[in-house]
Structure 1
Amino acid sequence: MDHEDGVGVLAVFLKVGTKANPELTKILEGLKHCEFRGKSFVLEDKVDIVKLIPQSSFYFVYQGSLARPPCIECVVWIVFKDPIEISQSQLDALNELQNHRRRQEGIKISNNYRPLCERGSREILLVKVPKKGCPC
C-alpha cells in the first residue's frame, strides 16, 4: 500500500433469514436518531462487533480502492466469504437510510454501489483461518 493513511475495511455479506441479528438491532436503534447525513448518536448498548462477523473460516483479502469517487487506491479490503443472517425487517430498515442533509431531496443509500471494475493485476487472496487446536 502506497498510502500510510490508508484504511482497512471489513466487508460482510448479508442474507435475509428468519432471525434478526441482535447486534445489528442495536445499531439500527441508534440510526433512528440519525435520520440525516451529518447527525451522530451515542449507542446506549455496547455492540459486540465479533457477532457481526461470520463464524466462517474463510475470507478474501486484497488491496483496492475507496468505493466512492475518486476511488483512491488506499484500502485493504477483508471480505468474509459467508454471509451473516439478518431479518427482512432489518434489511428494510437499512434500505430506508437516507444519504442527504435535512433540506435536500431524499436520496436513499440503497443501490449506492458503483459498477464492477476490472481486477487488473490485483491479487486476491483466499485466507483460511485455522481452527483452535489445529497443529498446522
Structure 2
Amino acid sequence: MSFKIPDDCRYRETHEWARDEDGSVRIGITDFAQDELGDIVFVELPSVDERIEQGEEFGVIESIKAVSDLYAPLSGEVLAVNDDLVDAPELVNDDPFDDGWMLEIEPTDETDLEELLSPEEYEAQTV
C-alpha cells in the first residue's frame, strides 16, 4: 500500500510530521501511522501556551488497537490545538495532514525542522 507523504512536511522516525506555516509549525501524525493504528477513538493534547520539547512526549493517541505516545518533532510553545479532534478524533484517520492536524507551535529553533527526515527519507523507512 502506498501512503500519502506530502513534500511540504518533515518527519520523525516515530511517524509525526511537521509543516512550516510561515513561522509557526503545524504538527500531526502521518498517514502511515494512522493506518497502522486503525480507527482513532481519542486524542489527548497539551494546552495552548504549554511548552513541548523535541523528542519528548506531548500527548497520547488511542485507537481500537492500541494506545500510543505522541513525540514532539520540535521544541516550542503551543499556539493552537485542533479542538475538532475532541469530538471527532476520526479526522486523524480521514485526513491526517489537513483536518486531522494536532498542534500549531511557535518553534524555539526553526532550524530543528531541517534536522527531521525528508519526505524521501521517511518514505524509505516505511517500505
Tell whether the structures are fold-level matches, with TM greater than 0.5. no
Larger helix percent: 2
Interval of TM-score (by shorter of Structure 1 and Structure 2): under 0.3
Look at both structures and tell me which one has the larger radius of gyration over its CA atoms: 1
Return the TM-score normalized by structure 2: 0.27
